[in-house]
Every structure is written in C-alpha cells, then in structure tokens.
C-alpha cells in the first residue's frame, strides 16, 4: 500500500472517493489503474480485496503463490519477493497430478 503513488491535486479535483462517497481531499493514494481514494478508505478495502473498488483491476496480493500464478492478470509491477519461487509452483503442479 505504501508503494502506491499519491495523486496530483489536478487529477482528483472535484472527485469523490468511490469507497466512502466523500470529496477527495487530505491523504490519498492512486491505484495502478489511476483511480484515486482516501488513503484510509483504500487501506481498509485492500485488507479484504486485491482489486480496485471501481474497475476491479488486480494488484499484488499478500499471497506469494497467488501472485506467481496470476502475474499476467495483476495490474502494475509485482515484486519478485512477493511471489513464491517458480520452482515451488512447478513442484506443486507435479504433486497435484
């Protein structure tokens, strides 16, 4: 969450937070899809979801296996340390057969 950028004031002027429906002002964060939210609202949302509340684009999850298996669906960069090693995934796939 801390890695998400802060939107410029011109990007959110006159906009509302889609989570709480209040005017965007104060501490804000911008998702990789460019939707902006109050930082606290987004923090609470991302505790339960790994998607944008507006467009459902996915961001990096706290689950390394999920990040590895769904890397192509996740918007923005996925840190290598946030993914389970590829060898472990291949081992899991072989074990499931």
Whether residues 32 and 66 share a domain: the answer is no
Q: Closest by alpha carbon to 50, among 38, 63, 59?
A: 59
Instruction: Show the domain range for 94.
Output: 60-97
Residue 63 has which token pair? 């689950």
Residues 64 and 44 in one domain: no
Determine the 3-state secondary structure of 88 from DSSP.
helix
Question: Is there a domain that residue 29 lies in?
Answer: yes
Mean pLDDT of 19-42: 91
Q: Give the predicted TM-score (pTM) of the model.
A: 0.67
Backbone angles phi, psi at 6, to 5 degrees: -95, 130
**pLDDT per residue as tens digits for the range 41-96:** 999 998 888 889 999 888 877 788 887 788 777 777 777 777 777 666 555 555 55
What pLDDT, on a 0 to 100 scale, did the predictor assign at position 97?
46
Of how many residues is the chain composed?
97
Cβ neighbours for 70, distance < 8 A, ≥ 6 positions apart? 58, 61
Q: Is residue 54 part of a domain?
A: no
* 33 shares its domain with 74: no
Same domain flag for 6 and 45: yes
């Amino acid at each position: 969450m801390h890695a998400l950028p802060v939107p410029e004031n011109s990007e959110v002027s006159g906009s509302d937070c889609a989570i709480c429906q209040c005017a965007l002002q104060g501490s804000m964060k911008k998702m990789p899809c460019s939707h902006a939210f109050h930082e606290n609202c987004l923090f609470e949302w991302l505790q339960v979801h790994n998607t944008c509340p507006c467009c459902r684009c996915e961001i990096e999850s706290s689950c390394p296996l999920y990040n590895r298996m769904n890397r192509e669906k996740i918007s923005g960069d996925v840190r290598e340390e946030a993914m389970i090693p590829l060898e472990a995934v291949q081992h899991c796939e072989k074990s499931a057969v």
